[in-house]
């Protein structure tokens, strides 16, 4: 008899807690709005070009590291391989990862502003790569609306 009462009590507690969790669950929010920009003097909004996904792998033993070229808004997935144990850092982004012979360092970052940022062995000034974020080029229109270099008339 006591076992039956305990079982009923446990089922009642389970039902109440399930109901409470359902009522207090966070509701899904609205997705963030798409990024837009408005040109000076133009009232129409234009969408910014989405960033690209750039995947790169570098070795710490490379004597002359190649630059990794990005544009603002690009996402970089960087893998750094090392024959010796150590740490790899990207100081500009505040990132630090362990690396070793069987464990490469992995970084994922979004380039938000132009500049040149070293990827280096922690505790040294030796760069193993350089992330170069170049500003996007703006196309200027001529008086008649043609874009120079696109085969249109520029007179």
- Asked whether the beta carbons of 70 and 93 are under 8 A apart, the reply is no
What gap in Å lies between CA 95 and CA 98, rounded to an integer?
10
Distances (CA, A) of 17 to 10, 11, 32, 53: 11, 10, 32, 44
Q: Quick: pLDDT tens for 4-21.
A: 898 899 999 988 888 777
Indicate if the pLDDT at residue 155 is higher than 50.
no
Domain boundary assignment for the chain: 49-133
User: CATH number for the 49-133 domain, one of 2.60.40.420, 3.20.10.10, 3.40.50.2300, 1.25.40.340?
Assistant: 2.60.40.420
Q: What is the pLDDT of residues 46-94, one digit of tens each?
A: 455 678 898 999 998 888 888 999 999 889 999 999 999 999 998 888 8
- pLDDT of res. 107: 92
For the chain, give the percent of residues with pLDDT over 70: 71
Token pair, residue 107, equals 């970084």
Q: What is the DSSP letter of 27?
A: P
Contact call for residues 86 and 126 (beta carbons, < 8 A)? no
DSSP 3: H
Q: What's the CA gap between 146 and 154, in Å, rounded?
A: 6
pLDDT in tens, 103-142: 999 999 898 889 999 999 888 888 899 999 988 665 555 4
């Amino acid at each position: 008899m006591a076992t039956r009462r305990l079982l009923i009590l446990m089922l009642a507690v389970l039902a109440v807690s399930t109901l409470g969790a359902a009522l207090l669950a966070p509701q899904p929010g609205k997705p963030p709005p798409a990024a837009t920009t408005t040109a000076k003097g133009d009232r129409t909004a234009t969408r910014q070009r989405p960033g690209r996904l750039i995947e790169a792998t570098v070795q710490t033993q490379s004597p002359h590291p190649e630059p990794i070229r990005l544009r603002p808004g690009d996402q970089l997935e960087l893998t750094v391989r090392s024959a010796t144990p150590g740490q790899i850092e990207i100081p500009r982004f505040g990132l630090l990862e362990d690396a070793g012979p069987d464990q490469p360092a992995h970084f994922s970052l979004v380039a938000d502003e132009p500049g040149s940022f070293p990827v280096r062995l922690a505790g040294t000034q030796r760069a193993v790569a350089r992330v170069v974020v170049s500003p996007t080029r703006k196309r200027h229109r001529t008086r008649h609306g043609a874009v120079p270099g696109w085969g249109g008339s520029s007179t």
